[in-house]
Structures are given as C-alpha cells and as structure tokens.
Amino acid sequence: MRQIVLDTETTGLSAAAGDRIIEIGCVELLHRKLTGNNLHFYLNPERDSHEDALKVHGISNEFLRDKPKFAEVVDEFLAYVQGAEIIIHNADFDVGFLNRELELLGQPAFDGFVDTVTDTLKMAKALFPGKRNGLDALCDRLGVDNSGRTLHGALLDAELLADVYINLTRGQDALLIDAGAADTAAGPVARVDLSGFDLPVIRASEQETAAHDAVLQQLDKASGGKTIWRAVMAAGVA
C-alpha cells in the first residue's frame, strides 16, 4: 500500500478569500515504512502572507518571490500523489486549498487524483476524546520527537505526522498482510491449514471482565456518553 503524508503552508486561513499555498511537503510510506522518496516545493503565491500566517510559518514574502508558481509544479505533484492514500492532519483545510489551486487551473478536485484521504485529526479525536489533538500534542502523547519544530514547515510537519500516524495505527501492524512480503530471505512463508483443529475458547475471568467494564466506563465518561457501544446497546434494546 502506497501512502503519502501531506502538509501545506499558506498565506492565510481562507482559500475562498484568495489565500494561496506557499509550501507543499509530502512523505512517502510503502507498507507503513518511510521510503525517503519525498516531495517538497516552495511556491510563489502571487500575493503576500498575512502577518499572523508569517508568525506561524516564518516564510517571508521576499523568499518566495523567485519560487515556481503552483501551475509550474502541478503535473509533477499530481503524478506523485496519483492513486495513493493521502494522510493529512485536519484534511479539510489542506484539501480545500489544493482544490482551489486546481480549480484556478481548470483541473478536477484533488480527491479525483488519489485513492482516499485520511484525516489524522479525526482519528485522534476518536481515540483521545476531550484532549488536545494538535500535531505537537500528539507528538508529546505518542513519544515523537518534535524538538526541532520551532515554526511550522510543510515537509517537517509531514515527517512528524508520518511518525504520529504510524504510532496512532500501531495496533494494525499485526493485521496487515503484505502479499509482496510473502517471499523472505529464508524462502516462502509456509501456510498452515487450521481447519482441522478444534481451537479452544478461553473466556475472560470475572476479574478480567470487571477490569474491562471499568475501562469502558472511563471511555464512556470521557466522551460524554457518545461511545459507539452505548448507541449499539440502545439500538438493541429498542
């Protein structure tokens, strides 16, 4: 599976009001491993950044004057992301700006070029309800070193987000089946037919069940009673 972790920096907060992209950073993952095949552009937005935006990314208007315009890199960018799963933190913001840039060039919307867009902010809110889920907060919570992040930068933030995403989805590692990894240095992996085995069912003890219920109650309390199992149980009762 090819995944691209993507981040942008912009002249301001509103693509609809004319703000533009000034930086795109992309980090490639293949089978959840960093490949080093990254993509990075600084762009001339043909307008100045707002003062508040400058405080966030620190990229001066003068620095961007001789950088390529989005139209000059769009073909390379779209070829790079083509068909991949795109991972973005607060995807609505970045995709909104990408859609606006593409619209100005008469191109289809961004999601028409890629497989899917995964929003790590939505993932984090589901996993950590009621907590701060910005990139810095997630780095701290998940043990990702962000000590070099004094200002926002698209490539640096994409690299940090790649580590955050891998940590957020760490439990999926055991569930992933990589067809391309079937042949290892030791030869093909042997497949065992388990259909003839009578596998025992080991049920939880009373103590384990009580501990499990306590964890569910804590999660339910933290989410304000919006947990999925509460809705499922209510539907079942109805």
112, 10, 155: which is closest to 70 by C-alpha? 10
Phi, psi for residue 6 in degrees, rounded to 5: -125, 145
Q: Which residue of the set 31, 40, 152, 212 is catalytic? A: 152
Query: Using an 8 Å Cβ cutoff, are 85 and 118 in contact?
Result: yes
Calculate Rg over the CA atoms of the chain: 22
In Å, the largest CA–CA distance within the chain is 71
Report residue 9 as tokens. Answer: 């920096």
Distance (Å, rounded) from C-alpha 95 to C-alpha 172? Answer: 26
Distance of CA 56 to the CA centre of its chain: 20
Q: Is 40 designated active site?
A: no
Residue appearing with tokens 């909104």:
96
Q: Kindly provide the b/e burial profile for residues 96-121, where b requires at least 16 CB atoms within 10 angstroms of the residue's own CB.
A: bbbbbbbeeeebeebeebbbebbbbb
By annotation, the residues acting in catalysis are 152
